[in-house]
Structure 1
Amino acid sequence: MELLIILYLLLLYILIRATFSLLGFHKPKNLPLGPARLPIIGNLHLLGDQPHRSLAKLAEIHGPIMSLKLGRLTTLVISSATAAKHVLQKQDLEFSARHVPDAMHACNHAHHSVAWLPVCTEWRTLRRILNSNIFSNSSLEANQHLRSQKVKELVAYCRKATSLSNDWVDVGRAAFRTSLNLLSNTFFSIDLADPYEDSGKEFKEVISNIMVEAGKPNLVDFFPMLKKIDPQGVRRRLNRHFGKVLEIFEKLIEERLRMGRLKQDDVLDVCLKLNQDNPNELNHTHIKSLLLDMFAAGTDTTSSTLEWAMTEVLCNPHTMTKAKNELEKVIGKGNIVKEDEVLRLPYLSCIIKETLRLHPPVPLLLPRRVDKQVQLNGYTIPKGTQVLVNAWAIGRDSSVWDDSLEFKPERFLESRLDVRGQDFELIPFGAGRRICPGLPLAIRMIPIMLGSLLNNFDWSLDTNIQHEALDMSEKFGITLSKAKPLCVVPKPLN
């Protein structure tokens, strides 16, 4: 609604500034089918405040490869596993460039970010650092004790909440704090939030604001002539949000450098050592942008997925019972789940896959762009086209999934489908060279958090907030979070 109001207020301005080419909304030849376009705005009026849902409904009419005109921006929407496989695997290189939203230019972040850089030498260097020093098997194994400790602290926090006043727990906030401290210990060897108190709220709000602002439709992206005006103030707000987080990172870097020596005990030491050895390859700006990417993506997506999983389990008592029975049989009631035990908990893994199918953390993945004209399935995709892969729609495709809108973890018990980017029916983390670099950490962290919470407590809704707690409405941004926080009461099992 906000977008439409601003859009119509600016319509007169756009008409005055528009050139004849802007008014000539002729459709390029051989584009995929798509909805009829209005002058000037094209199909912008069809997005609504839940673009992933709106685009899924349009794809039911116009097909899994669909074209739209969003202001000046030609957009290709991919809504099936088959089409996604072409874009993300068979023609991955041709579709690997990024469409960078104007918002990501705040604090010049897009110029140094592994998430938004094009596939180039700089991007390859940053990906290599991530893959070799943070998300490699050896690095993850070395930090397994940190993940175990943070999950113990999460359980202790929930136990403390109920022992003091039989109080409810905001699951999303508690999970965010756990993810935040895991990352901050991995990178800086410190907690950024008190693990046993309800702290870290301000940092969570900043990260949540970043995801919402970065994900919302922004007129500047559709009408580049408005860039200097920034009519919705998205870039101005993100300058402020980014600035707060980057200031924290800058202080931590300065403090580490003042220590005078690097022991390579954590990721910051590794990055600073790489910077000393080759400052042209990795400078301090790169390091801060890398940290911003990891903290923004790693905290919000993990906490959101855990919150959705807990919500679905509470909505489906038979799922809760089966999960608890499996946990009790395999590891014993009241114990913390260890990473090497997850393989012996197939139903728990099925719950997480089913959660990611229905609630992918990034519903439209991050937008791609074609830098030169390409052919796709017989269609001609012009240079500069934005490409959106609707992972949310793919996960709910009724031609692929039986009872596609129902939460049924059992569907994965006899299935080899996985979330690692090889099965295009289920791509919550993307696929191809642009797959989420944090996937190896996420698939280790989420099961032990969810399993430990289910295995240590009986969960019930606070009667005063029951309706709001299980409200399944979504808050759209880059990540798809729950609009109403899940607040539940944990009762310890021992």
Structure 2
Amino acid sequence: MGAGDTYFLCPSQLGHCFVIAFPGKVTNGLTGRHLHKTPKRIDSHPGSYNRGEKPRKSGKYDLSEHPIYLGKRESSTRQTMQEYIGFRNFVKGVPVNCSIGKDAWCGEGSKHQRPLNAGRKGLPCVETGAPDISANASRRAVLDAESAQRMWGERAAMALCLAAGGLSGVLAEADDATITASSSSMFTLQNVLFGLLAATLGLILLLNLKGKKLKLPPGPPGIPIFGNWLQIGDDLNHRNLAELAKKYGEVCMLKMGQRNYVIVSSPEVAKEVLHTQGVEFGSRTRNVVFDIFTGNGQDMVFTVYGEHWRRMRRIMTVPFFTNKVVMQSRFAWEDEINHVIKDLTASKEASTTGVIIRRRLQLMMYNVMYRMMFDRRFETVDDPLFVKLKAVNGERSRLAQSFEYNYGDFIPILRPFLRKYLAYCQQLKDKRLALFKEYFVEERKKVLSTRGSGGGEKAAIDYIFESEQKGEINEDNVLYIVENINVAAIETTLWSIEWGVAELCNNPDIFKKLRNELDSILGRGHLVSEPDLPQLPYLGSVVKEVMRLHMAIPLLVPHMNLHQAKLAGYDIPAESKILVNAWWIANNPEHWVEPEKFNPERFMDGKIESSGNDFRFLPFGSGRRSCPGIIIAIPLLSLVLGRLVQSFDLYPPPGVDKIDMTEKGGQFSLFIKTHYNMVVKPRAD
């Protein structure tokens, strides 16, 4: 145990003390008050918390009258020290017994120790589940039959003693600066899990004996510590959660380690989360990886609901998310799509063996957004800066969507095992932000300084700079805004375009019907533009059907309630992670006819919009935390699909009947598994 360790003093109603060691501040285990801000080692002076210092009073208990010990209060100083040494050995892995009774105590190593339940008949010793820290070490608990029926205080003490037995083995090997191996054993995952099991069993006993019973949503039964993690696994994808909804209903709960997950699977309850109780459930969950990538919530998309979010959303709306921005940007969008058409037309491979069209569409999406943000574009897919940018953004997406870090989020005490992973995330974040700053933010500031005020059209980042100059945000906020656009705008729209092109290729009848609409309303030779979109209902229906069947963010961005709340008649514990399974709501046969089929006709009546007016269809969410990027994504997706259909005939590659539509997803995404090869021939008719 290091100098930064904390010893919790937990007096029981029997007049005995239970001491439990934790890293951090010294705290009175009963009152929760801090005793000292900077604790030091206590083994140098019996009965004192700091070296040579007289103990202070805290709350109800006079610590000078209750020196640290593991026996009776009237123990001598010598006995106190000996029994403390016994406790120190206890947390270092020496065999220890734990009993509850008249002379209950935890510890071994003193000749003055009293026999377990001296003179009384107790139950056989049972394993508490503590780790085998040193050779032949064990943790045992003797639960006296008579003692077990005693007052609450005794049972609480038993629970704490069990918890101490488990946690001490873990903490004995946890250095306050680094997690290292002890001389007798390694700090392994197995040790931690066994220790956690003992600790949790004790705490469960303690908590279940007292406290208000909540009416929680139904869900599969879990096991201590792990909850449903071992049953469900890491892959909390939309299809697995849909199966849970079929069994447990429109609201169900999963206990993933220490995290509560509430799964919402009906339009009615989704409306309650996103709209009716939008403030209550309007926050965002935090986890160790997203805390790194967002600077502990300095961005907009993943920050908690509050003043910072409102300020960031207001600052981002003017340069990115208004009709005026769309009207100003549409010419650049159409120009970038024309570059795609030109490159595909000139490619011999495209019309013969085929090309991976995603590569060219990815360059288009980066150019669309970087022209909006910085008035910058990349000429080719081989542009060194584009290659570097694409690489760091792709790695960021992979890490954030990975299931590798879930165990550290589910069971926080396991986070030491994530140190290398989190260190790598931190390095990547620093590298990305440095790239944004050096090549884009600072370069744009140089352009503005040479151009002067009033010269040229404003880029989106110019408005962000103005907010920075006013003191509304700082430089880090500027960089995290750029980070959000790279993650939330570019990749998600690209996934939808890729799904849409594949569906049109695999459904030639729908492809032909869409082309006929474009030709009949716009005429041959007139490529669709943004003002034309309201006149093209079938194109709009195709776009909606792509997003319904292949929702880019199938569970939406997770919501959270900061405080305990009610939902559909159930109690929702504070800080629960709320997952709205928008994909299942949009693919549930109870709400949709043949939902597995790609059928744009279902949207032709025009009653269901993408903005969330109908809670059966929520590709962008709804309410306060809905995605503001809808104002860019819908017209851009429509223009790309429309112009490709007007310009090319699309076919699977030679020897293949259909494009492989197998899906793949992380925790926050749904994209096509294989970036397909496609034959793109200039239109023949």
Distance 1:67 1:349, change over 3 A: same
Distance 1:165 1:412, change over 3 A: closer
Q: How does 1:353-432 map to 2 (within 5 A)?
A: 353-432=544-623
Matched, 1:236 2:387: no
Of 201, 214, 219, the residue aligned with 1:29 is: 214
Answer yes or no: is the 8 Å Cα contact 2:355–2:679 preserved in 1: yes
Cα separation, 1, equivalents of 2:359 and 2:421 = 25
Q: How does 1:256-275 map to 2 (within 5 A)?
A: 256-259=444-447, 260=449, 261=452, 263=455, 265-275=458-468
**What is the aligned partner in structure 2 of residue 172 from structure 1?**
358
Specify the SS of the correspondent of 1:69. Answer: strand
Higher relative contact order by CA 8 Å / sep ≥ 6: 1 or 2? 1
Specify the SS of the correspondent of 1:24. Answer: helix
Moved more, 58-67 or 44-53: 44-53
**What is the aligned partner in structure 1 of residue 333 from structure 2?**
147
Give CA-to-partner distance per residue, 1:215-246, whole Å, 9 cap, x none.
23311210112234316x55334334433432
Of 277, 298, 301, the residue aligned with 1:115 is: 301
**What is the aligned partner in structure 1 of residue 649 from structure 2?**
458
Matched, 1:10 2:200: no
The alpha-carbon deviation at position 20 of structure 1 amounts to 2.8
Give CA-to-partner distance per residue, 1:329-378, whole Å, 9 cap, x none.
22234543201111121111111111111111111111111111111111
Distance 1:462 1:164, change over 3 A: closer
Answer yes or no: is the 8 Å Cα contact 2:365–2:494 preserved in 1: yes
Amino acid corresponding to residue 488 of structure 1 in structure 2: M
Amino acid corresponding to residue 29 of structure 1 in structure 2: L
Q: How does 1:332-351 map to 2 (within 5 A)?
A: 332-333=523-524, 335-351=526-542
Answer yes or no: is the 8 Å Cα contact 1:178–1:195 preserved in 2: no
**What is the aligned partner in structure 2 of residue 6 from structure 1?**
none
Give CA-to-partner distance per residue, 1:154-185, whole Å, 9 cap, x none.
21122122478745232333222111101101
Moved more, 447-456 or 220-229: 220-229
**What is the aligned partner in structure 1 of residue 319 from structure 2?**
133
Moved more, 162-171 or 395-404: 162-171
TM norm structure 1: 0.91
Of 628, 638, 663, the residue aligned with 1:473 is: 663
Specify the SS of the correspondent of 1:470. Answer: coil
Of 339, 346, 354, the residue aligned with 1:160 is: 346
Distance 1:352 1:146, change over 3 A: same
Cα separation, 2, equivalents of 1:323 and 1:404 = 20
Cα separation, 2, equivalents of 1:66 and 1:330 = 48
Give CA-to-partner distance per residue, 1:378-413, whole Å, 9 cap, x none.
111111211111111111111100101111111111
Answer yes or no: is the 8 Å Cα contact 1:96–1:433 preserved in 2: yes
The alpha-carbon deviation at position 476 of structure 1 amounts to 2.7
Specify the SS of the correspondent of 1:227. Answer: helix
Amino acid corresponding to residue 467 of structure 2 in structure 1: L
Moved more, 219-228 or 431-440: 219-228
Cα separation, 1, equivalents of 2:397 and 2:385 = 20
The alpha-carbon deviation at position 308 of structure 1 amounts to 0.7
Amino acid corresponding to residue 665 of structure 2 in structure 1: K
Distance 1:256 1:214, change over 3 A: same
Cα separation, 1, equivalents of 2:395 and 2:242 = 25
Question: Which protein is richer in helix relative to its size?
Answer: 1
Cα separation, 1, equivalents of 2:247 and 2:350 = 55
Of 212, 215, 229, the residue aligned with 1:44 is: 229
**What is the aligned partner in structure 1 of residue 679 from structure 2?**
489
Amino acid corresponding to residue 544 of structure 2 in structure 1: K
TM norm structure 2: 0.66
Of 208, 211, 225, the residue aligned with 2:413 is: 225
Cα separation, 2, equivalents of 1:113 and 1:390 = 24
Moved more, 219-228 or 343-352: 219-228
Q: Which stretches in structure 1 are left out of the alignment for 5+ residues? A: 1-8
Cα separation, 2, equivalents of 1:410 and 1:374 = 40
Answer yes or no: is the 8 Å Cα contact 1:213–1:477 preserved in 2: no
Moved more, 160-169 or 295-304: 160-169
Identity of aligned residues (%): 27
The alpha-carbon deviation at position 439 of structure 1 amounts to 1.1
Specify the SS of the correspondent of 2:255. Answer: strand
Amino acid corresponding to residue 227 of structure 2 in structure 1: G
Q: Which stretches in structure 2 are left out of the alignment for 5+ residues? A: 1-187
Amino acid corresponding to residue 235 of structure 1 in structure 2: L
Cα separation, 1, equivalents of 2:462 and 2:415 = 38
Specify the SS of the correspondent of 2:624. Answer: helix
**What is the aligned partner in structure 1 of residue 432 from structure 2?**
245
Cα separation, 1, equivalents of 2:196 and 2:236 = 30
The alpha-carbon deviation at position 462 of structure 1 amounts to 1.5
Answer yes or no: is the 8 Å Cα contact 1:300–1:479 preserved in 2: no
Cα separation, 2, equivalents of 1:418 and 1:109 = 35
Distance 1:318 1:237, change over 3 A: farther
**What is the aligned partner in structure 2 of residue 3 from structure 1?**
none
**What is the aligned partner in structure 2 of residue 317 from structure 1?**
508
Cα separation, 1, equivalents of 2:388 and 2:266 = 38
Cα separation, 1, equivalents of 2:593 and 2:238 = 21
Answer yes or no: is the 8 Å Cα contact 1:130–1:437 preserved in 2: no
**What is the aligned partner in structure 1 of residue 182 from structure 2?**
none
Answer yes or no: is the 8 Å Cα contact 1:105–1:235 preserved in 2: no
Answer yes or no: is the 8 Å Cα contact 2:299–2:477 preserved in 1: yes
Give the root-mean-square deviation of aligned CA atoms: 2.5
Considering only CA atoms, is the larger Rg found in Structure 1 or Structure 2? Answer: 2
Specify the SS of the correspondent of 2:627. Answer: coil
**What is the aligned partner in structure 1 of residue 88 from structure 2?**
none
Of 251, 273, 288, the residue aligned with 2:479 is: 288
Cα separation, 1, equivalents of 2:398 and 2:586 = 22
Give CA-to-partner distance per residue, 1:426-449, whole Å, 9 cap, x none.
111111110112110101110001
**What is the aligned partner in structure 2 of residue 330 from structure 1?**
521
Answer yes or no: is the 8 Å Cα contact 1:81–1:424 preserved in 2: yes
Distance 1:323 1:107, change over 3 A: closer
Q: How does 1:78-117 map to 2 (within 5 A)?
A: 78-117=264-303
